[in-house]
Amino acid sequence: MTLHTTTTTPSGPSGPTIQQDYIVPPPPVQSAPQAGAFVLHGQTETTPHSVVAPAQIVDDTQALAALPVEFRMPDIERYTGIGCPRIHLQLYSTVMRGHRLDEAQMIMLFPLSLSGAAQRWFASLDPSRCRTWADLGQEFIRQYSFNTIVDVSRRELEALRQGPDETVTSFISRWREKIT
């Protein structure tokens, strides 16, 4: 509803009276926030119901995956770059698929399962290398494969000794075979 107010002011000591109309805008109406599709532009944004969306990994012109209104980010232990990346991927995938998220949504929220060096690595990732969940998983494993769990223990590797007639190159090759 718009109100019209009329004000009458004299233009001088003996001059004519001027009539002015002012339009008074209605008071602002506050409505409940609604979740929907959103596009991020290189920053973190908050959506209703405590869902925080990460910096996007696709072109600014492409819309990101919409999340269900009732979605809340599960409490998953964040990967810092230490530990087995395969275990983290499996846990993340299982939990997110349990919440019925599709591949695009899983990619969009993946950086929220990272922290520290791992999150910085993700932010520096070329978006063209992570168009699918399989691509992202492959890049993640490639980056953190040195942390994969191996069947040989540290004690076994420390106990491994170079033979008296064994060359250094041969010993290193044998040591590497043990860990793969």
Q: How far apart are CA 160 and CA 125, in angstroms?
A: 38
Same domain for 66 and 121, yes or no, is yes
Does the pLDDT value for residue 61 go beyond 50?
no
Confidence (pLDDT) at 151: 58
Count how many domains the chain has: 2
**Residue 84, number of CB atoms within 10 A of its CB:** 16
Written as one letter, the residue type at 87 is I
How many degrees, rounded to 5, is the angle at CA 44 between CA 85 and CA 130?
40
Instruction: Please report whether residue 4 resides in a domain.
Output: no
Q: For 160-173, what is each residue's pLDDT tens digit?
A: 889 899 999 988 88
Q: For 21-33, what is each residue's pLDDT tens digit?
A: 555 555 555 555 5
Same domain for 85 and 162, yes or no, is no
User: Among residues 84, 72, 70, 149, which one has the least CA distance to residue 112?
Assistant: 72
Confidence (pLDDT) at 119: 93
Q: What is the mean pLDDT of residues 47-72?
A: 56
Q: How far apart are CA 146 and CA 118, in angstroms?
A: 13
Same domain for 156 and 104, yes or no, is no
Instruction: Please report whether residue 23 resides in a domain.
Output: no
* Pairing status of strand 45-47 against strand 51-53: antiparallel
Confidence (pLDDT) at 60: 42
DSSP SS3 for 65 = coil
Same domain for 66 and 139, yes or no, is yes
How many degrees, rounded to 5, is the angle at CA 102 between CA 99 and CA 104?
130
Does the pLDDT value for residue 36 go beyond 70?
no
Same domain for 79 and 129, yes or no, is yes
Same domain for 110 and 164, yes or no, is no
Same domain for 75 and 88, yes or no, is yes
Chain-centre distance of CA 94, in angstroms? 17
Same domain for 74 and 141, yes or no, is yes
Instruction: Please report whether residue 52 resides in a domain.
Output: no
Confidence (pLDDT) at 106: 92
Same domain for 136 and 65, yes or no, is yes
Q: How far apart are CA 49 and CA 33, in angstroms?
A: 9
Q: How far apart are CA 26 and CA 31, in angstroms?
A: 15
Q: What domain range includes position 179?
A: 150-180
The pLDDT > 90 percentage for the chain reads 28
56 and 64 Cβ atoms separated by less than 8 Å: yes
Does the pLDDT value for residue 2 go beyond 50?
no
Q: What is the CA radius of gyration of the chain?
A: 30
Instruction: Please report whether residue 69 resides in a domain.
Output: yes
The pLDDT > 70 percentage for the chain reads 60
Same domain for 143 and 157, yes or no, is no
Confidence (pLDDT) at 110: 94
Q: For 62-115, what is each residue's pLDDT tens digit?
A: 446 788 888 888 888 999 988 889 999 999 999 999 988 999 999 999 999 999
